Structure formats: C-alpha cells, structure tokens
Amino acid sequence: MARKRYSVFAVAREALRGHTGWPRAWASPEPRARYEAIIIGAGGHGLATAYYLGKNFGITDVAVLEKGWLGGGNTGRNTTIIRSNYLQDPSAAIYEKARSLYETLSQELNYNIMFSPRGVIMLAQTEHEVRGYTRTAHANALQGVATEFIGPQRVKELCPIISLDGPRYPVLGGLWQSRAGTARHDAVAWGYARACSDMGMHIIQKCEVTGIRSEGGRVTGVTTTRGDIGCDKLGVVVAGHSGRLAEMAGFRLPIESIGLQALVSEPVKPCMDVVVMANTVHGYMSQSDKGEMVIGGGADGFNNYTQRGSFHNIEQTVRALVETFPMISRLKMLRQWGGVVDMTGDRSPIISKTPLEGCYINCGWGTGGFKAIPGSGWGMAELMARGHSPLTEAFGMERFREGRFIDESVAAGVAH
Amino acid sequence: MLLLTCPNCGVTAEESEFHQGGEAHLRRAGPGSPDDAFEGYLFTRRNPHGVHFERWRHVFGCGKWFHAARCTATLEVFGTYPAQTTEPPADIVAAIRAKRPDWEGFR
Ligand SMILES: Cc1cc2nc3c(=O)[nH]c(=O)nc-3n(C[C@H](O)[C@H](O)[C@H](O)COP(=O)(O)OP(=O)(O)OC[C@H]3O[C@@H](n4cnc5c(N)ncnc54)[C@H](O)[C@@H]3O)c2cc1C
Ligand SMILES: [Zn+2]
C-alpha cells in the first residue's frame, strides 16, 4: 500500500470525486511466522515505539499485535491533557521530549493530530499547593521547561469562567505552562499506525497474546489467538493489562490496575480556551473543539479490569468542579466512560528490561500517559534497539528494589 | 457500585461507606530482610484479572478493617471475612470454588 500524502490538493481532488479515492490509512495483513520485533498493544505507546524503531533505528520488520482495535484502550479513552511541568528531572526530560515532539507531530506524520498548545493551569487552592507549585516552577526553570507561578488575577484573565473565591477552596494562584495543551487522542494512534504501515510494519488487530514463549531465559515469540509468532525482541506495552502479560513472561510488577473515568457535557459555545486542573478537589476540565466540556477526576478506589467505574466518583468530580466553575451546574452530561489504568507505587512509569532476556516492558503510565506517547516511544525504541536509553534509564523496574523512586505522587496530585 | 458487608459490625452498605486498602495477606518483611523481600512487601502486587483478596476499612461506619474476596474482572463479591487471618477461611474458598471452578487457588 503506497501512502498518498494528505494535502490541501488531495482534499480538493477528493471533494470533486465524492471522496471515493482515499486509500485505507493502514493495511490489515495476515501475521507472518516471525518478525525481528513484536510489540504487544496498539495503543499510543506501542505504536510510537514501533514508529521510532523504524524511523530512528531502521528496524521495520516489526509487528504490532492488538487484542481489540487500534487505540481502543486508554489511548482512545483519555482526556488528552499534554503538559511537562513535573517535579523530578527524569520525568521532566521524558515528558518535555514528548511535548516538544507533539509540537511538530502533525507535519512529521502528515496526519493532523490537532495538537493545541492552549496552555494548562494547575490551580493552587491551599497554601500547601502554593508552596508545592512554586517549588515545581523553580525545578522547571532548572530543567529548561517553561512554566511560571501566576497569581489569582492572571488565572481569572486566562479563564474568565472560573470562580476565584470558591466557598471551600479559594484560588490562590496556579502553575501555568503556556505551551501545554491537548491533542486529538485517536488521531495520535491513527497517525502513528499509518506511518508504521507505510514503513512496511504489520499492525494486526483482533490478535490477543495468550502466552509468551522462551528458551533458556530468552524470549522466542508469542502465542496468540491467531497462532504462534516468533520474534527476537518483544515489547510489552499494554497499560492496565501489564500484570497479565508479566505473569505470562514469568515475573511480577509493582502495578495495580484501577478504574479511571471521564465524562463530557453537551456542546456549548466557546467559553474556555485553556485547560484547568484542580488537584485539591480532584477535578479538571477543558473544552473540546466540538464545544463539549471534557471532565476528569481522580481514579476509582480499587482493582478493576472492567472499564466501568462507580457513579459516586463521577459525582465527586462534578461536585468539585461546580464550585470552581459555577456555570457548569446547568450543563447536561452527554457521555461517561472508563479505562483501566496501571498505577505504580511512585506514580511514575516503568520502561525497562525484564528478567526475560529480549523482553522489554513499557507500562505504569497510570492516569497520565497520553502526554508522554512520543517521548515514551522514542525512549522505548532506543532501549529495544540498543539495550539502553538516556531517556528511560531512571525508569527501570529495579528502582523499586533499590529504593530509587521517581516520586511524582506529591507533585502531580492524583490524575494527570 | 459494590455492596459489602462489614464482618465486624454486620452492616451491609454501598462501597462509598468503605475504603479499599490494597491486597490482603501480604507477608511483612522484617529488619534484616533482603531488598527483594522489602520490594515484594512494599510494591509487588498480584493484581490478578479475576479472584482478588483485599483489605477494606469501614471508614464511615465502625472504622474497623476487614477482608473481602472479589472478582476484578466482573466486580462480583464472593464474601467478606475478619482481618485477623493469614489466609482466606474455608467458607470463602468454597464460595469462590462454587462460582469459579477453574480458579487456581490461594497462592
Ligand atoms: C479516563 C482517562 C483519562 C485520562 N486522561 C489523561 C490525560 O488527560 N492526559 C494524559 O496524559 N493521560 C491521560 N490518561 C492516561 C492515558 O490514557 C494512558 O496513560 C495512555 O493512553 C496509555 O497508553 P498505552 O498505549 O500505554 O495503553 P493503551 O492505549 O491502553 O493500549 C494498550 C493496548 O494493549 C492492548 N492489549 C492488552 N492486552 C493485550 C494482549 N494480551 N494482547 C494484545 N493486545 C493487548 C489493549 O487492547 C490496548 O489497546 C487518561 C486515562 C483514562 C482512562
Ligand atoms: Zn463495620
């Protein structure tokens, strides 16, 4: 399948032809018996890993295996916040790498991922948060990440619908990152998939991995619902299902799979052109290009693989946001959904070699991995191709044994 | 929404009256234990897709801790039991076996 470039001329031509000439964005081939590298999971992180394996290291004999449909996991269920204002240096490095790759990803993939650097404010609503975010702003200055701590009046200018003196938690300021924002989640998966397919890689949907095969401590392939497939290198990138795959590979992870929900309102006229996160009250909101208010909150309270959450969590999120944005009390909510997020003990991801030689794992992004997709794929590809990567070094799974945590749980509140 | 029965006070209530406290029956690592043991105790979790034993606290009730056996793939609750045990009691194991014949058993 030769890729046709998307351009204004292509759009004009197809408009005249009744849109009958668009080729499929990616091919759906039958699996081969063996690949140099297999990636399990066609979410954003898996597809980005495959893409940079090809682009940066010339490894294109790659299959991406997906049990459902491409982007149907958390990648297609998130609220698309992209930011890089983390506290710890390794986090800032990988999230800022990702954010900066997002800036030009549409051009690079020739696919409109609708990156919108509209700016993100993380509200400080307690003295503790004021101190915490001031500290993060200083850390970000040292890391070369452009953020600033702003006062309440500036918050109000940036987001007029906010109520500054909410009854419980007045807005005391906020951490502002002006080049943070949102992107179209499905498009990120689709854009990477199209580019991978164009490099000759195989993206195989409805193909569930049910076993991992090895010989003498080295991975040799996988068992799937579409037969056995061999490989030299294996990348496990399955978010909430990481524990199950790790069990197949014979090791355990410091991960728990928890439900996280989000919801959108009916569409309204433009009223908010920044993203606002209120971590003290566990809620955040932005407005999609269609006009819906996109709302998320904290994770549900227990291990849960069902992609369904409990109503009282939604209620808590909305209750909190109504205090901060009184206008939303009149909005009807249109849809609500859930994903299975993979939470680690220090709320930072794992990008790592595993006890099984040739098998690598990328997981633990929890409630906040959409923003990291390009940087994570970049680092994971380097790790798989070279055996080490400066970007992923600190995120090895041995850090839990060695006590070298990358503690973002304090810095990031809950959901991020 | 889960419905749980607190074995301490006998109250049956919705999950919003309770708080989950993570995996049950973890073996605590003591002073002098190797790093692996501490890692296991502090961080490594079974996180099964299926039968899960977990700690719950009746926060908006009697305040006491107890244990529950629950399926993470369907949200079915098999039963709750007192926290003062190192493994699930026979009646809970039997209740799970009745509904999950292919369950591989505790540990
Ligand atoms: C409600 C919600 C809101 C969120 N909001 C944000 C946000 O605003 N900003 C942000 O940065 N992050 C957010 N996140 C987190 C973000 O969505 C995830 O961290 C990220 O999408 C993870 O991507 P992934 O590629 O690792 O996983 P996924 O997209 O879940 O992909 C994993 C894939 O693996 C497949 N798979 C699993 N098991 C197997 C198997 N055995 N064989 C084959 N395939 C398998 C799954 O079907 C799935 O498609 C949110 C998450 C949720 C649920
Ligand atoms: Zn009780």
Residue A413 lies inside a defined structural domain of this protein: no
- The set of residues, in sequence order, having a beta carbon less than 8 Å from that of B96 and lying 6+ positions away, is B51, B69, B78, B88, B103
CATH classification at residue A158:
3.30.9.10
Indicate yes or no: CB of B39 within 8 angstroms of CB of A302.
no
Structure-token pair, residue A73: 């996991």
Domain final residue pick, A344, A377, A393:
A344
Is A3 a residue whose pLDDT tops 70? no
Residue B56 lies inside a defined structural domain of this protein: yes
What angle, 0 to 180 degrees and rounded to 10, lies between the N-to-C axes of helices A373-386 and A89-103?
Answer: 110
Q: Residue B17 C-alpha to ligand 2 middle, in angstroms? A: 9
Judgement on whether residues A300 and A393 belong to the same structural domain of the protein: no
Instruction: Among the bound ligands, name the one nearest to the CA of residue A237.
Output: 1
Residue B15 is which amino acid? Answer: E
Judgement on whether residues A153 and A41 belong to the same structural domain of the protein: no
Structure-token pair, residue B39: 């890692």
Q: Report DSSP state, residue A287.
A: E
Distance from C-alpha of B88 to C-alpha of B80, rounded to nearest angstrom: 9
How much is the pLDDT for B69?
Answer: 98
How much is the pLDDT for A1?
Answer: 45
Q: Are strands A227-236 and A34-40 parallel, antiparallel or unpaired?
A: parallel
Contacts of A241 in chain B (CB under 8 A): 49
Distance from C-alpha of A165 to C-alpha of A226, rounded to nearest angstrom: 58
Distance from C-alpha of A123 to C-alpha of A247, rounded to nearest angstrom: 40
User: Quick one: closest CA in A to B56, which residue?
Assistant: A302
How much is the pLDDT for A411?
Answer: 52
Residue A407 lies inside a defined structural domain of this protein: no
**Model confidence pLDDT, tens digit, residues A239-250:** 999 999 999 999
Q: Where residue A410 falls among pLDDT bands split at 50, 70, 90?
A: low
- Kindly calculate the radius of gyration of chain A based on its CA atoms and give it in whole angstroms: 21
Q: In whole angstroms, how far apart are CA A121 and each of A272, A283, A326, A368, B79?
A: 12, 12, 18, 16, 44
Judgement on whether residues A177 and A135 belong to the same structural domain of the protein: yes
More confident residue, B97 or A407: B97
Per the structure, the complete domain to which residue B37 belongs is given by 3-99
How much is the pLDDT for B56?
Answer: 98
Indicate yes or no: CB of B49 within 8 angstroms of CB of A306.
no
Question: What proportion of chain A, given as a percentage, has pLDDT over 70?
Answer: 98
Is B38 a residue whose pLDDT tops 90? yes
Residue A122 is which amino acid? Answer: M
SS3 B85: coil
The torsion angles phi and psi of B58, rounded to 5 degrees, stand at -85, 70
**Model confidence pLDDT, tens digit, residues A81-136:** 999 999 999 999 999 999 999 999 999 999 999 999 999 999 999 999 999 999 99
Indicate yes or no: CB of B39 within 8 angstroms of CB of A244.
no
Is A272 a residue whose pLDDT tops 90? yes
Count of CB atoms situated within 10 Å of the CB of A138:
13
Judgement on whether residues A290 and A395 belong to the same structural domain of the protein: no
Distance from C-alpha of A399 to C-alpha of A350, rounded to nearest angstrom: 9
Residue B107 lies inside a defined structural domain of this protein: no
* Residue A67 Cβ < 6 Å to ligand 1: yes
Residue A244 is which amino acid? Answer: R
SS3 A177: strand
Residue B106 lies inside a defined structural domain of this protein: no
* Residue A300 Cβ < 6 Å to ligand 1: no
Q: Cβ(A42)–Cβ(A205) under 8 Å? A: yes
Distance from C-alpha of A238 to C-alpha of A398, rounded to nearest angstrom: 19
Domain final residue pick, A324, A344, A364:
A344
Distance from C-alpha of A39 to C-alpha of A46, rounded to nearest angstrom: 6
Is A281 a residue whose pLDDT tops 90? no
Instruction: Among the bound ligands, name the one nearest to the CA of residue A203.
Output: 1
Residue A40 lies inside a defined structural domain of this protein: yes
Sign of CA dihedral B10, B13, B18, B22: positive
Judgement on whether residues A107 and A198 belong to the same structural domain of the protein: yes
* Residue A43 Cβ < 6 Å to ligand 1: yes
Residue B83 lies inside a defined structural domain of this protein: yes
Q: Where residue A292 falls among pLDDT bands split at 50, 70, 90?
A: very high
Distance from C-alpha of A190 to C-alpha of A4, rounded to nearest angstrom: 15
Structure-token pair, residue A185: 């989640």
The torsion angles phi and psi of A8, rounded to 5 degrees, stand at -65, -30
Instruction: Among the bound ligands, name the one nearest to the CA of residue A261.
Output: 1
Per the structure, the complete domain to which residue A42 belongs is given by 29-84+86-111+184-254+346-402
Indicate yes or no: CB of B47 within 8 angstroms of CB of A345.
no
Structure-token pair, residue A155: 């918050």
Judgement on whether residues A134 and A62 belong to the same structural domain of the protein: no
Looking at the structure of chain B, the number of domains it has is: 1
Judgement on whether residues A210 and A249 belong to the same structural domain of the protein: yes
Distance from CA of A47 to the nearest CA of B (A): 25
Judgement on whether residues A153 and A38 belong to the same structural domain of the protein: no
Q: In the beta sheet, which residues pair with residue A275?
A: A120
Judgement on whether residues A312 and A332 belong to the same structural domain of the protein: yes
Q: Residue B79 C-alpha to ligand 2 middle, in angstroms? A: 14
CATH classification at residue B76:
3.30.2270.10
Structure-token pair, residue A50: 């495959």
How much is the pLDDT for A12?
Answer: 94
Is A270 a residue whose pLDDT tops 90? yes
Mutate which of A113, A228, A238 for ligand 1 pocket (most atoms within 8 A of beta carbon):
A238
Task: Average the pLDDT over A369-382 and give the result.
Answer: 98
Judgement on whether residues A224 and A353 belong to the same structural domain of the protein: yes
Return the minimum-mean-pLDDT range out of A5-14, A301-310, A402-411. A402-411
Is B31 a residue whose pLDDT tops 90? yes
Distance from CA of B27 to the nearest CA of A (A): 15
Q: Are strands A202-204 and A62-65 parallel, antiparallel or unpaired?
A: parallel
Looking at the structure of chain A, the number of domains it has is: 2
A347-374 as b/e: b if 16+ CB within 10 A:
bbbbbbbbebebbbbbbbbbbbbbbbbb
Q: Cβ(A134)–Cβ(A148) under 8 Å? A: no
Judgement on whether residues A391 and A277 belong to the same structural domain of the protein: no
Distance from C-alpha of A377 to C-alpha of A385, rounded to nearest angstrom: 12
What does the mean pLDDT of chain A come to?
A: 95
Residue A186 is which amino acid? Answer: D
Is A371 a residue whose pLDDT tops 50? yes
Indicate yes or no: CB of B45 within 8 angstroms of CB of A255.
yes
Structure-token pair, residue A42: 């066609």
Residue of A303, A348, A404, A406 to mutate when probing chain B, most B C-beta within 10 A: A303
B interface toward A at CB cutoff 8 Å?
Answer: 1-2, 14-16, 19-20, 22-23, 35-36, 38-39, 42-49, 52, 54, 70, 72-75
Q: In whole angstroms, how far apart are CA A388 and each of A79, A259, A352?
A: 31, 32, 9
Task: Average the pLDDT over A146-162 and give the result.
Answer: 98
Q: Report DSSP state, residue A303.
A: B
Structure-token pair, residue B91: 């009646």
Q: In whole angstroms, how far apart are CA A294 and each of A169, A286, A289, A291?
A: 22, 5, 10, 9
Residue of the nearest CA to atom 4 in ligand 1?
A78
